Amino acid sequence: MKKYQGAFIKNDREIACLREANRMVANILDAIGDAVVPGVPTMRFEEIARDMCASYKVKPAFLGYCGYPYATCCSVNEQVVHGFPSPRLLEEGDIVSVDMGVVYEGFVGDAARTFPVGQVSPEAHRLMQVTEESLYVGIEQARAGNDVYAIGAAVQAYVEAAGFNVVRRFVGHGVGAKMHEKPEVPNFKPGMRGLTLQNGMVIAIEPMVTIGTYEVDILEDKWTAVTRDGKWAAHFEHSVAITHDGPRILSISDRGLNRQTIGS
């Protein structure tokens, strides 16, 4: 693996492994999405993830990472990211963000989606839609020669034009043999230049969008991030390779590219 400004440049074999890892993650998210119904505990999603990891013979990437105790993050309503799966039963109208990673042949797959529980409010639906759309707006900028910060600038402009806000505290990241590699991929525009994207880089782009303030607090459990004002948040994430043909989304399931809330 070559390095460019601290970021790893992956060869075709490495990108093939990352594709496979992310295919598994996307399949797991599909299965979890099928299980999102009123009355289900979020712990059920953890079971699905662990069972599928076992059948794929891969390790979950989050379990044990910096002491994180689960294979999934399940964040409900005002929880932004890093929520623990729990016996809490989802209710009609809730939204739940599920983040999942696996390690396949030493390479990490990482993706997330927010799911509606039954029928959700128009505002919650709009929040999910704007967040998911902002992910694709960001992906569009994931091209060789672009400043990595062009991604966040585009995400932020899109989200704010829709009347919502982007979280600053957590950012996307390079991803490869480690879950978090250089560069950081903010979802906002920092006031400086960033790294220039090169073919062979792989990044996880993961906008977290809030209806109200973008400020978050961390709960007593040291992990769960919640909005400071209690308004709801959504989170969508894809792992994306920078290629000669433009951005290549790696986290596509066997069903195809998932589009939760947006028309294809």
* Residues 111 and 235: beta-carbon distance below 8 Å: no
Give the nearer residue to Co ion in terms of CB position, either 46 or 110: 110
Neighbours of 231 (CB within 10 A): 16
d(CA 168, CA 36): 28
30, 56, 65, 212: residue in contact with ligand MF3 (rule CB under 6 A): 65
167, 224, 237, 253: residue in contact with ligand MF3 (rule CB under 6 A): 237
Choose from ligand MF3, Co ion, none: what does 68 bind? Cβ within 5-8 Å by kind: ligand MF3
Give the nearer residue to ligand MF3 in terms of CB position, either 26 or 204: 204
The DSSP symbol for 183 reads E
204, 234, 241, 250: residue in contact with Co ion (rule CB under 5 A): 204
Query: What one-letter code names the amino acid at 238?
Result: H
- Which of 185, 167, 187 minimizes the C-alpha distance to 228? 167
Residue in this structure with the two tokens 């093939």, named with its chain if needed: 16
Give the nearer residue to ligand MF3 in terms of CB position, either 78 or 206: 206
* Residues 249 and 259: beta-carbon distance below 8 Å: no
Q: Which stretch binds Co ion (CB under 5 A): 36-44, 107-115, 126-134, 211-219?
A: 107-115
Binding-site ranges for ligand MF3 (CB under 6 A): 62, 65-66, 68, 73, 82, 99, 110, 112, 173, 204, 206, 237
